[in-house]
Structure 1
């Protein structure tokens, strides 16, 4: 079993809406979701392939998250159709990656590409 050391974290004012967007737009899958007594999501873990992105309540923003994907063109089209704001159109980088950037509805920056460090 693989042990992770570094986890990406994004903060959202509305975690339930964020989960809906991230699963629809980016194809993430819910691994775990913890709610408070009122039913509000306080912590969630979303699967991205074999990796996890954690989300929790808080002020959105920060430098952004990069996720490697196999078919970045199809991923771009899916995210755009789901309402992601494209901040960097698809581009072939000189280091061999094809990638794009976008923001989710709460303004968190996401970058997707073929580069796998």
Structure 2
């Protein structure tokens, strides 16, 4: 039995986005930003589904934009994500050197995070920083719901 094929992932949230040029966006996110190409499924020359994992945890799913399926598809360029990384300065330098469009320069935030933001070739905004979120209250974790 192949151990890698039988591993279970922890439950998580998977942001999704659509692209006019899904192969190009996948190439940018993998080759320039540093996501891992985990799966890409094509259907008739279009990307039906792609899974890109962030090396430090989490990931995104994306596919080719289909204007005939507005119930499932977002307009390209309308996506935004915050990606947690412990190597924010190294990533910033690498992306700046690669000529990536910076939306917000790197800086320390009043809440303790160090972060910056870029635009991908489709116009989506990607923020990268050290902020991992606040700890959940013990009762919210136990009850399986957040606080309102």
> Same-fold call, TM > 0.5?
yes
Is 1:9 the counterpart of 2:20? The answer is no
8 Å Cα contact 1:15-1:42 kept in structure 2: no
* Count of equivalent residues: 116
Structure possessing the higher relative contact order (Cα contacts under 8 Å, 6 or more residues apart): 1
Asked whether the equivalents of residues 25 and 83 of structure 1 are also in contact (C-alpha less than 8 Å), the reply is no
1:1-117 to 2 correspondences below 5 Å: 1-38=8-45, 40-49=46-55, 50-58=57-65, 59-62=75-78, 64-117=80-133
Q: 1:47-73: per-residue Cα shift (whole Å, max 9, x none)?
A: 102312111122322251000011111
TM-score, normalised relative to structure 1: 0.89
Would the aligned equivalents of 2:32 and 2:95 in 1 still touch at CA under 8 Å?
A: yes
**Distance (whole Å) between structure 2 residues aligned to residue 42 and residue 83 of structure 1:** 29
CA contact (8 A) 2:116 2:128 kept: yes
- Higher alpha-carbon deviation: 90-99 or 49-58: 49-58
For structure 2, list consecutive stretches of 5 or more residues without a partner in the other structure: 1-7, 66-74, 134-148
In the aligned structure 2, how far is the partner of 1:90 from the partner of 1:35? 36
Q: TM-score, normalization: structure 2?
A: 0.72
Displacement over 4 Å in runs of 4+? none
Bigger Rg, which one: 2
* 73-82 vs 83-92, greater mean Cα deviation: 73-82
Structure 2 SS opposite 1:110: strand
**Where does the alignment leave 5 or more consecutive residues of structure 1 unmatched?**
none
Q: Tell me how far apart the structure 2 counterparts of residues 103 and 88 of structure 1 sit (CA, whole Å).
A: 9
